[in-house]
Amino acid sequence: AGTIYALGDLRGARALDELVLAAYARTLPEDHPDVVAARQRLGVTTFALGDVPGARALFERVLAVRERT
């Protein structure tokens, strides 16, 4: 998704970020570093697309996990 993002296809990057997060979330606990990183990447892409409330919700979940671990 990073390459797609860098090429300017933010919607494509978001779709891929969502797939990655969903795959990790199905197989790993919420506090697993890969899940946290995928959620943060999705937050960055969501923010870049102008969805500030959506990005904030994702970042708040990331922060909540990081505060617990």
11-66: pLDDT as tens digits: 999 999 999 999 999 999 999 999 999 999 999 999 999 999 999 999 999 999 99
Q: How far apart are the first and last CA of the chain?
A: 26
Whole-model pTM: value is: 0.92
Residue 11 neighbours by CB under 8 Å, 6+ apart: 49
